[in-house]
Amino acid sequence: MSTALSPFAARRARLCAAMQPGAVAILPTAPEVPRNSDSDYPYRHDSYFYYLTGFTEPDSVLVLVAAHADKPAQAILFCRQKNVEREIWDGFRHGPDGARIAFAFDAAFPIDELDSEMARLLANAPAAYYALGHSAALDMQMKNWLLAVRRQARGGVTAPAVAHDLLAILDEMRLFKDDAEQAVMLRAATVSGIAHARAMRASKPGMFEYEIEAELLHEFRRNGAQYPAYTPIVASGANACVLHYNANNAQTRDGDLVLIDAGCELDSYAADITRTYPVNGRFSGPQRTLYELVLAAQNAALDVVRPGQKYSDIHDAATRVLAQGMLDLGLLAKDKFGGVDDVIAERAHQQFYMHGTGHWLGLDVHDAGAYRDVTLDDKPSRPLQPGMVLTVEPGIYVRPAEGVPEQFWHIGIRIEDDVLVTPATQGGHTILSAAAPKLADDIEQLMRP
């Protein structure tokens, strides 16, 4: 294994150390996907592959061989050959030699040699690690490679007797962000926060949602982000009560709230921020009342983001504040419930708050990593630990219904931040997305003409 100190090489070394001695791991990147007859969708590499390599070209496979006896671990890349003619059309290719040097691999081969080399690399390996059942194409390749090894049985060659799910190890690794990842995620969240502020400043009644979306996308790209991390949600008025609304084609009206759920992808890492604001720059009384309730719920959730707290404590804290507010504001009838515990037990709050309060964040918007400790019989929610990054995103969505005060109808509010869990000595957490205005007074001040 290369002794390079890049974070990618360090992750490869950690993975090899977790594997059975002499075992082989195989990890391909994502394929290119045609969009129409003569165009592909913008290419996005596989997140697991990038996590271990930093390599972003398609048609690539990483193979790791764990150390065994006196043989050191190896990191081997298979990728496209240099091709001057294709580079004229499609751009630069590293080629095997260039990639080996630039990304600190121990060896690199043309992708066309993958089949023959795998038959050699898997020979006498005790186990194979790959994403079991995630790709029919890879499953078929593995079958063919194992058959090629078994054909050498008369010569005393053995095929791997055990297959392990590679992603189970990588998921746990990816859950904890190293210093390099934390720095990129802070930058992605900061760029995204600046974009949210730009959208607020630009908003005026009568604008179409897609015009506001354009302000976000402009700011993402202007600051070096390569893509939006997901299709932005720009939902005005009643559209904000649709959780995954992304048509973004309605015209805003004076008095509407606008809910924006958007984040950029920068150097492969996602930001995920939601802000809700009045398109005319001034919250109405009912809007501010609900906004302050959601903000109080988020503050209660953030208060429990620290090492040792269970992940589920975040949702529980937010839900209790929201449930009490629903009772106090008449969204839920007090004469039907004895209090917050009854509301939650009967799930009555889900009429207005029907989703969770967050998720892991990283290379993927809903990032890798288990939320429960599956090694224990009751599968408890896992405790938070430094290096985890998650979103905290309570909301409230009020659709017209019998018994629901009409002043709150068609109001949808969500407030979402990206949060890094830090050691208790550092406060327990850091909000990465602080660049996005959040207090109602700050939003109104920002939008003032």
Task: Write out the catalytic residue numbers.
Answer: 38, 244, 261, 272, 355, 359, 366, 393, 397, 414, 416
Cα angle 423, 427, 431 (rounded to 5 degrees) comes to: 100
HEC profile for the chain? Answer: CCCCCCHHHHHHHHHHHHCCCCCEEEEECCCCCEEECCEECCCCCCHHHHHHHCCCCCCCEEEEECCECCECCEEEEEECCCCHHHHHHHCCCCHHHHHHHHCCCCEEEEHHHHHHHHHHHCCCCCEEEECCCCCHHHHHHHHHHHHHHHCCHHHCCCCCCEEEEHHHHHHHHHHCCCHHHHHHHHHHHHHHHHHHHHHHHHCCCCCEHHHHHHHHHHHHHHCCCCEECCCCEEEEHHHHHCCCCCCCCCECCCCCEEEEEECEEECCEECCEEEEEECCCCCCHHHHHHHHHHHHHHHHHHHCCCCCCEHHHHHHHHHHHHHHHHHHCCCCCHHHCCCHHHHHHCCHHHHCCCCCCCCECCCCCCCCCCCECCCCCCCCECECCCCCEEEECCEEEECCCCCCCHHHCCEEEECEEEEEECCHHHCCEEECCCCCCCCHHHHHHHHCC
Phi-psi category of 281—alpha, beta or left, where left has phi over 0 and alpha has psi -120 to 50?
left
**Cα 246 to Cα 57: distance, rounded to the nearest angstrom:** 30
The burial class, CB within 10 Å (0-12 / 13-18 / 19+), for 77 is buried
Q: Which amino acid is at 92?
A: F
